[in-house]
Structure 1
């Protein structure tokens, strides 16, 4: 027996795409930049230090003193020697007044007045320690600084942009096709 049969054969359509890529160029030129830095304004005020050295005592210890000071010292020593002499004479006169109490005032006073007193021995530093006096006032420094800001001048450059657009072309590479056949099949 023969049975009719339909046979279909299809072919799909195919699309063809051709692409040309776009090109883009971007460049940024450097900015024009000028910077000026003014110097800072500085003012310095100095009060100088002061050193006082007083060596009057050292000179006096070495017996090198001003004539007015020497005259004053001699006058003082003379006055003191006069007072000691008056006191010695009063004391010796009192001894003579009390001769009745015994003793020999003539011989003892003769021995006292005949010889000078013993000098003391010892090491003496000339001039004496710390005879030179110093007084120091340190210097004072006042510093004033006025900072000046930098002067910046910047001119940016425009961006350079070049663009070439891409292209896309489409076309039909293969058409769609449908074939239909009628065939009889024997069973």
Structure 2
């Protein structure tokens, strides 16, 4: 017995898609900055160093003296020698007055005046040690520094954003179908 048969054939629908991708651009501009550093204020005060050298004693030791000092020195020495001469002559006069009591007065006076005094022997250091006097006042340095703060100005720039949305569109590549056959 033959039974009637039903044959069904189907085809699936096929869908096609057109896709346009979205486009996005983000830019971040750099911040605008201005930095300024003023120079520090520096004040320096110095006093000069002072050196005093007194070599007057060393010059005197060598025999180099100024005109005023030499006049004073020679006048003093002349006065002293003059006084010594007066004293010697007064002494010799007294001896001569006493000639009756002292018979050797003329001989002793002649003996004193004929033999010079002996010179002192030895080594002298010219100029004498320590005759040059040094005095030094060191210099002073005062430094005053005033720092200056930097001036900073910064401006943040907003980002730029560009967006183009994408698009999807569909279309049918193949339509669906059903075929039914009836066989007896």
**Range of TM-score over shorter length:** 0.5 to 0.7
In structure 1, how many angstroms separate the alpha carbons of the residues matched to 2:103 and 2:135?
Answer: 60
Give the superposition deviation at 1:42.
Answer: 0.6
The within-5 A match list for 1:8-157 is: 34-102=34-102, 104-155=104-155
TM-score (norm 1): 0.60
1:182 matched residue in structure 2: none
Partner secondary structure for residue 87 of structure 2: helix
Give the superposition deviation at 1:114.
Answer: 0.7
Range moving further from structure 2, 31-40 or 46-55: 31-40
Aligned pair count reads 135
> Residue by residue, what CA displacement relative to the aligned partner does 1:75-102 show, whole Å, maximum 9, x if unpaired?
1111111011111111222222333444
C-alpha root-mean-square deviation of aligned residues, in Å?
2.8
In structure 2, how many angstroms separate the alpha carbons of the residues matched to 1:55 and 1:103?
Answer: 56
TM-score (norm 2): 0.61
> Residue by residue, what CA displacement relative to the aligned partner does 1:33-63 show, whole Å, maximum 9, x if unpaired?
5543221111112121122222222222211
